[in-house]
Structure 1
Amino acid sequence: GTQTSRASVVFRVLLTAIHPGFADYDHDSILGLSTLGWACFVAIWLVQLVILAYGMEMVRRYEGFAGPVILLTVAALAGWMYFQANGQIAWSIREPLSGGEMWRNIFAGGALWLAIYGTLILNFCDFARSSPCRKTIQVGNFWGLPVNILVFAAITVLLCGGQFQLNGRVIESPTEIIAAIPNTFFLVLGCLAFLIVTVAVNIMANFVAPAFVLSNLAPKYLNFRRAGLISAFVAVLILPWNLYNSPLVIVYFLSGLGALLGPLYGVIMVDYWLIRKSQVDVPQLYSEDPQGIYYYSRGVNMRAVAAFIPAAVIAILLALLPGFASVSPFSWLFGAGIAGLLYLLIAKRQPHYADVSGESIAVDNVSH
């Protein structure tokens, strides 16, 4: 919902640049959004639904198209900003930090970045399961993560540093850069590029996962398309533009999200690497036999739940209570570490897993 709202803002800039008369419809308020805002939001919302309606193959093609478009666009913007600033880049907007405080801020920023990408780590299988081989995944991740992120980080420094050098103003949104382009033709091209990539990121990061989750929860009633529709309507009902306008809500949401997903990641990693030694019995994953090794207690791994709950509570307290502000950016790491350690201790003391190689089987008493 929030990403769609952000894309609609770019669309509003595009429409008013093409026809300034549209700005007359941008002054009223209906549930916190103007008439023009509603029209743009619904338009972007529908475009995403159309892409999803054609399934994952269409998503893959669209993502492949959007990636190069945004890279070329932001690189061109960075070059334009660099020449506008006569090659002068501001490297700091205030007195630079030093010593321990500097390093705490550096690692805190990295920890928050990790919490954001932690969402994609957990549902990466939604995309990787369609890959033809392991090498494809490795090559894609190499170019798509470390290389791509470093390139965009350099571009961000040029854009923000150049803008601050020009007028002493800090850029808080890429939309501000686009809106500041003096040439209408290039402004329109920039808006189109940002629309394309925002939709791409939104579908990949925020739409596919809930569509799969909801369809798996009720496979008799929901397919991928129907589940996607439910997710889309929820995105409208929460009125995301009102949430985004509150910086406090954003901070609490991201911190709480990391605090909950960190423990989930810790349990999954320990279970796969340390408990099961990276061995998975695929046919058993689809078995409803009460004696199956993944049946647990009516399909619920209570040991994982027992490790998740206390770790999540601790991580949320660290993330949200003002007294822990200095460590709150690290709530994802704390949650993952605590949950992983608890799960390892519980699983070692109460072994209940079948050896997928067939050499030994230990039966979970709870599942009887």
Structure 2
Amino acid sequence: MTDRFTGKLLGVVEGCTNPESAEMLEDGETFVFGNCRLDVGFPWFRESQGLVYLEGEAFVTRARISRDGEVTVEERRLIDGLTTTLGCDVLRADIEAFPRGTAFIVADGKPIAHPDGSGPADARPHVLAFDPMSGEVRGRVPLWEGSRIARRFEALEMPNGLAIDADGNMYIADCPHTNPGVDPALPPPVSPAVYRIPAAALGPLVRDEPGAADEVTRVVMPGYVNGCAVSPLDGVCWGVSCSPVDPVGGGVYRLPMSAFRSGVQPPPVHRDLGELDGVCVTRRGTVVVTAPMKNEIHAFTADGGHFLVGGAGLPTRMPADINVVYPRHLDGEPALMVADIMVGTPPGDCTVSVLAVPGL
């Protein structure tokens, strides 16, 4: 029987639209997250059964949790007119291409409909780099057809997870659920995979320089992949599987550099959790994952404990990507940024919650 861990709900940002992922800046107070319009019921895609994003209806929000724990929205639409804003992270080091503190969010993944629901609309998947305070766009890492990464491997279809390690190396999880058939056992249009982009390659990729993708590597994930994260303990990437026909029934994977050199997925560390979405790792080595279809948050501690995480008043119904943060006022203890994506709800019906989880 799985034990339960009860966190303390610090605050909730209401009025969100299908937020996928939220991340905190180094000040321990400011955080950003993407909002995106997605829905089902489009006859041209999977006989009205597949999720589709609406073109130009996504945006980025900046919010803040004060030193006394009060959560407020500072800029509801810091950046507007985007599409498919999913995983996000913040750069913790100065690199050649971008200054420390630059925020990144994956955008423009397939499938996309025109705002009136007709479609499909064109997609140009990429990673958007921006100033999280002003909203100024600082560049785009192309992932679309014809990009340097596409020429080395293949174009990404639905970049979902995003993580950046302490040295600025970037990890992107591509979850290509864009096969038009309703049978989940049909092969994906491109390979589900986690891509590793060295920090030194980001500038050349943005500038579309020859050879920019030569050092990019990937791990192909047969059970699909959704979120990804980097452990603060050893810098190793983690990912989770999310297909209803996943052979391990929902796996949590540790992806060391040897996996990126071989391109082969290692066995799962944990399995049989259902379709998973988000993953993060605390400074104590606790691995936290979300199972949105079950409205569950699982925590696996370094000493072998397994907990279902909750909190009084936590409003999530379909928790998506999850990030661990360290708000200044918690004096080094962790909190979880819990985004509620809740498919099928009207705009403004979702939340982003800050849940303190001391000891994890």
Q: TM-score range by the shorter chain?
A: under 0.3
TM-score normalized with structure 2 length: 0.22
TM-score normalized with structure 1 length: 0.22
Larger Rg: 1
Judging by fraction of residues, say which structure has more helix: 1
Judging by fraction of residues, say which structure has more strand: 2
